[in-house]
Structure 1
Amino acid sequence: MFAYKTLKSGTDIRGVASEGGGAPINLTDEVIERIAAGFLVWCEKHLNKAAAGLKIAVGHDSRISADRISAALCRVFTACGASVSDCGLASTPSMFMATLELPCDCSVQITASHHPFYRNGLKFFTPAGGLDSPDISEILEYAEAGASPEKKEGGSVTTVHYMQKYAENLRAMIQKGVSAEDYEHPLNGFKIVVDAGNGAGGFYATEVLEPLGADITGSQFLDPDGRFPNHIPNPENEEAMASVCAATVRAGADLGVIFDTDVDRGGAVDSRGEEINRNRLVAIASAIALEGNAGGTIVTDSITSDGLKTYIEETLGGHHHRFKRGYKNVINEAIRLNNEGVNCPLAIETSGHAALRENYFLDDGAYLVTKIIIKAAQLSRAGQSLESLIADLKEAKEEKELRFPITTADFRPVGEGIIAALERYAEDAGWAIAPDNREGIRISFPENDGDGWFLLRMSVHDPILPLNLESNTVGGVHILAEKLLAFFEQADTTYVDYTSLQAFLNA
């Protein structure tokens, strides 16, 4: 029997849905149908509503397998008597908002984020938010067991253009935030380049910015094309960022923005063609989020820089709470802090996942970019720029990420053992272990001895030990890597392949 649990990827379901990647298709129609039935069983249990009475929204990104998967979902939903709102091409965040605004009981987004074109997957939402890891496990258990509600007549599929309403909301947000003399066209005089990477984000240029008066000349790859022929739609991808940076400069634009395939992540580019990404994006988002939240706490993932912590705490007067990698991890931690009475307006990962409390802690790339555009317009009116907002952010001179595969099936104990051994080694060597380690181990070194830090941790999902190194001095990363190599050479690395570290030092 097919092992459905292999399709679990954190809080998503992901698999191979099309030919072209060299791997067999495991998101077949039968598999999708069983997952759809399992989701209905989950809904009956957790939403306390019969499947025959459910209202379900279904959307998808631009992947070539989207229509097939959508049809399989709708077959099962309608066969069990549910009413389906077919939203067609949509962003992932819009499918959460659809549960509130259509309204509906739940929704499904068909997407595999930035993964290659031949992969696809499913994300699930209720009005309470995105389903979490245990929920996905439960759905897949139902699917594997063949669980399903009773078949009922009366199911239906209705085409709903919810993205029009979602875009309208963003336009109204900009109009209110900028509050220009020409209220209907607050972006008159602004030139903004949008790179959608042929994903679902092209609407942002044509349905949000252009109607508000922005000049979107130079925008690129707005048309949906599920094979992503130009570059991977991913703000973390070097080729993608180089492309939007060049397009922004070529167009003489005030700002460039880029989205991943399903628009739950965004990045930006300033007028000089410099990336506003990773730590710079976190810094700008933090400055925006802390307006009206003096002394508030910003939750980030574990690989944010020391300079960012200084910027948040000393320049902005906030508190920095460094947590685990994984966008759902930082969001859940921010929600936990707020429930405990801590003023925490923002959870953000360096990958570009950003969730603001004012927006239901939904990771929404279009919402974040909209907040940035509003701030850019406000600063422009005062004769300032986005760059001036983060002028005090101290950025590292060097950074590097290496990945060490763990070569045994039972990989987690091996990885945890290496991290524990490194902690003992660091203590014996007198190294400065970070007091806020919440995953792996982060160790800092002074100015004359590497001038930076490294973090060794377990991957969220995979049998890999990622290593991040950062230094404030040219050549510092090499010094830090040498220190770590000395550790690995005396550790038990039977199942750990650290040859990439050796190759980096020998290069």
Structure 2
Amino acid sequence: MPDLSSLIKAYDVRGVVPDDWDESTARAIGAAFAEFVLADSRATTVVTAHDMRESSIPLSRAFAEGVIARGLDVVEAGLGSTDLLYFAAGSLDLPGAMFTASHNPARYNGIKMCRAGAAPIGQDSGLVTIREWAERDDYERVPDRVGSVSQRDVLAEYAAHLRSLVDLSTIRRLRVVVDAGNGMGGHTVPVVLAGLPLDVVEMYFELDGSFPNHEANPLDPANLVDLQRAVVEHGADIGLAFDGDADRVFVVDERGEPVSPSAITALVAVRELAKGRGTTIIHNLITSRAVPEIVREHGGQPVRTRVGHSFIKAEMARTDAIFGGEHSAHYYFRDFWRADTGMLAAMHVLAALGEQSRPLSDLTAAYSRYAASGEINSTVADAPARVAEVRGIFEDEGATVDELDGLTVELPDGAWFNLRASNTEPLLRLNVEAPDVARMTELRDRVLSTVRGGQEQS
């Protein structure tokens, strides 16, 4: 077995198929996962699901072969979104594995793993052990049986659970354009939103892991262009764009303008706080400073954390947080086993919009207070050296610096930026926020000039 350190990332498995991994690798990871969950919790059954990529079925089946070879059983939920897998792991109380590369291009695939109840498995909570055991692929324990594989379709149960959490039956009628990006939203949206007072305009609902229309990565503005145009053309109230595995959702208002995920985080946080069942809200360190401000204004307690689902889920468990949001449009709910679900976040936004008469742009304006750059990616030859250089420049000027996740620099005038290496791609990511556009632009360009040093951006 080859060295898997570059394949198994901070909180999932991710790589090019077959260059970085193949069915034999998946089989070894499945065996290691089986041994891990047996040792960790005495679990004897694992649930799996997969997205629409061409390699997902063979990889998930090979993984299952590894699991049953170690004497554990497998329940295959089949085709599904990542949050459907989390639903299965939560409702069935089983450890799970989702086969997807999320927003990455077609040649990639990956595995997102969790404990029973959708509890996270990350670098600090089991992935290192799974990697080491998969590399060794040799176990002292002799199974007393070969496990079995069964199938269970949970799509209808998943939809019913979401609809029990957000009631859309009495909202005003809305016209909604949904861009599924040929990803798993095309599978789940029709079932979840069926029969509600919504006129849904479907875009790219055909499941196609080659992504013939655009990459299923709405974080890249280029992949929102079709949705923005369609919202205006159809006179829609709102546009929704899901990423490839539909665990993230991006929102476009009636003018065709993107709504910041930070604004969505604040909006949903206010709705969750209004239920009166808790006060703690998690936000990662790249979300707008407006998020903790608004949370406090509504009686909540904001908690700042690292980027990444395994870190946020662990912090939600520690603090019993009711909700968490990230700048990348991952939204986490205590009522959904602390897991991230783009669908539930979308339903909250639809409810907030449909329960009142104002357009979405007016509704979300109250949650958008500062000018943000969005995430800017740069490919550099020596990322640590570039980050160190940036740190030195701003420390010499008396800025406040922390390294909770990458480098965060706060300036006296309220402007700030974060510079961090991607956990899944060879990129250095920059996010800048400031009181106004002019200041944000000035700070952004200054940091980028140091980061790139004359190199081309990615």
The answer to whether the superposition gives a TM-score over 0.5 is yes
Question: Which is bigger in relative contact order (C-alpha 8 A, separation at least 6)?
Answer: 2
2:183 alignment partner, SS class: coil
Match of 1:47 in 2: 41
Match of 2:410 in 1: 443
Match of 2:102 in 1: 113
User: Against the structure 1 CA distance between its residues 498 and 459, is the aligned structure 2 distance closer, same or farther, given a 3 Å change threshold?
Assistant: farther
Unaligned runs of 5+ in 2: none
User: Against the structure 1 CA distance between its residues 406 and 190, is the aligned structure 2 distance closer, same or farther, given a 3 Å change threshold?
Assistant: closer
1:212 alignment partner, SS class: coil
Structure 2 residue aligned with 1:389, among 363, 375, 383?
A: 363
Match of 1:14 in 2: 14
Match of 2:136 in 1: 145
Structure 1 residue aligned with 2:123, among 130, 133, 139?
A: 133
Q: How far apart are the structure 1 equivalents of 2:427 and 2:198?
A: 44
Deviations 1:469-497 (A, max 9, x none): 334444334532576589x5xxxxxxx75
Match of 2:220 in 1: 237
2:54 alignment partner, SS class: coil
Q: How far apart are the structure 2 equivalents of 1:376 and 1:231?
A: 28
TM-superposed CA distance for 1:67, in Å, is: 1.4
Q: Is the 8 A contact 1:434 1:444 kept in 2?
A: no
Q: Is the 8 A contact 2:32 2:137 kept in 1?
A: yes
Q: How far apart are the structure 1 equivalents of 2:70 and 2:216?
A: 36
Match of 1:425 in 2: 396
Residue 42 of structure 1 aligns with an amino acid whose one-letter code is: F
Match of 1:499 in 2: 454
Residue 95 of structure 2 aligns with an amino acid whose one-letter code is: C
Equivalent residues in 2 for 1:260-409 (5 A)?
Answer: 260-293=243-276, 296-314=279-297, 316-338=298-320, 344-379=321-356, 383-397=357-371, 399=373, 401-403=375-377, 407=381
Match of 1:212 in 2: 196
TM-superposed CA distance for 1:193, in Å, is: 1.9
Larger Rg: 1
Q: Is the 8 A contact 1:264 1:366 kept in 2?
A: yes
Q: Are residues 1:475 and 2:438 paired?
A: yes
Q: Is the 8 A contact 1:37 1:147 kept in 2?
A: no
Residue 313 of structure 2 aligns with an amino acid whose one-letter code is: I
TM-superposed CA distance for 1:42, in Å, is: 0.7
TM-superposed CA distance for 1:425, in Å, is: 0.7
TM-superposed CA distance for 1:144, in Å, is: 0.7
Segments of 4+ moved more than 6 angstroms: 434-438
Unaligned runs of 5+ in 1: 19-24, 181-185, 339-343, 489-495
Q: How far apart are the structure 1 equivalents of 2:94 and 2:444?
A: 51
Q: Is the 8 A contact 1:11 1:136 kept in 2?
A: yes
User: Against the structure 1 CA distance between its residues 163 and 480, is the aligned structure 2 distance closer, same or farther, given a 3 Å change threshold?
Assistant: same
1:499 alignment partner, SS class: coil
Deviations 1:53-93 (A, max 9, x none): x2222110111101111221222233344332222111112
Q: Is the 8 A contact 1:301 1:348 kept in 2?
A: yes
Q: Is the 8 A contact 1:330 1:349 kept in 2?
A: no
Match of 1:455 in 2: 418
Residue 305 of structure 2 aligns with an amino acid whose one-letter code is: F
TM-superposed CA distance for 1:366, in Å, is: 1.1
Q: Is the 8 A contact 2:17 2:55 kept in 1?
A: yes
User: Against the structure 1 CA distance between its residues 417 and 295, is the aligned structure 2 distance closer, same or farther, given a 3 Å change threshold?
Assistant: same
Equivalent residues in 2 for 1:134-173 (5 A)?
Answer: 134=124, 135-148=126-139, 150=142, 153=145, 155-173=147-165
Residue 421 of structure 1 aligns with an amino acid whose one-letter code is: G
Q: Is the 8 A contact 1:191 1:254 kept in 2?
A: yes
Q: How far apart are the structure 2 equivalents of 1:312 and 1:119?
A: 37
Identity level (%)? 26
Q: How far apart are the structure 2 equivalents of 1:356 and 1:468?
A: 25
Residue 120 of structure 1 aligns with an amino acid whose one-letter code is: N
Match of 1:341 in 2: none
Q: How far apart are the structure 1 equivalents of 2:204 and 2:132?
A: 39
1:158 alignment partner, SS class: strand
TM-superposed CA distance for 1:368, in Å, is: 1.2
Match of 2:79 in 1: 89
User: Against the structure 1 CA distance between its residues 461 and 82, is the aligned structure 2 distance closer, same or farther, given a 3 Å change threshold?
Assistant: closer
Equivalent residues in 2 for 1:19-30 (5 A)?
Answer: 25-30=19-24
User: Against the structure 1 CA distance between its residues 4 and 355, is the aligned structure 2 distance closer, same or farther, given a 3 Å change threshold?
Assistant: same
Residue 335 of structure 1 aligns with an amino acid whose one-letter code is: A
Q: How far apart are the structure 2 equivalents of 1:200 and 1:269?
A: 19
TM-superposed CA distance for 1:100, in Å, is: 3.4
User: Against the structure 1 CA distance between its residues 454 and 29, is the aligned structure 2 distance closer, same or farther, given a 3 Å change threshold?
Assistant: closer
2:32 alignment partner, SS class: helix
TM-superposed CA distance for 1:439, in Å, is: 4.9
- The count of corresponding residues between Structure 1 and Structure 2 is 454
User: Against the structure 1 CA distance between its residues 141 and 309, is the aligned structure 2 distance closer, same or farther, given a 3 Å change threshold?
Assistant: same
TM-superposed CA distance for 1:416, in Å, is: 6.7
Q: Is the 8 A contact 1:311 1:394 kept in 2?
A: no
Q: How far apart are the structure 1 equivalents of 2:62 and 2:113?
A: 16
Q: How far apart are the structure 2 equivalents of 1:390 and 1:469?
A: 20
Q: Is the 8 A contact 1:301 1:349 kept in 2?
A: yes
Q: Are residues 1:228 and 2:211 paired?
A: yes
Q: How far apart are the structure 2 equivalents of 1:132 and 1:459?
A: 15
RMSD after superposition = 3.1
1:130 alignment partner, SS class: coil
Q: How far apart are the structure 1 equivalents of 2:41 and 2:404?
A: 37
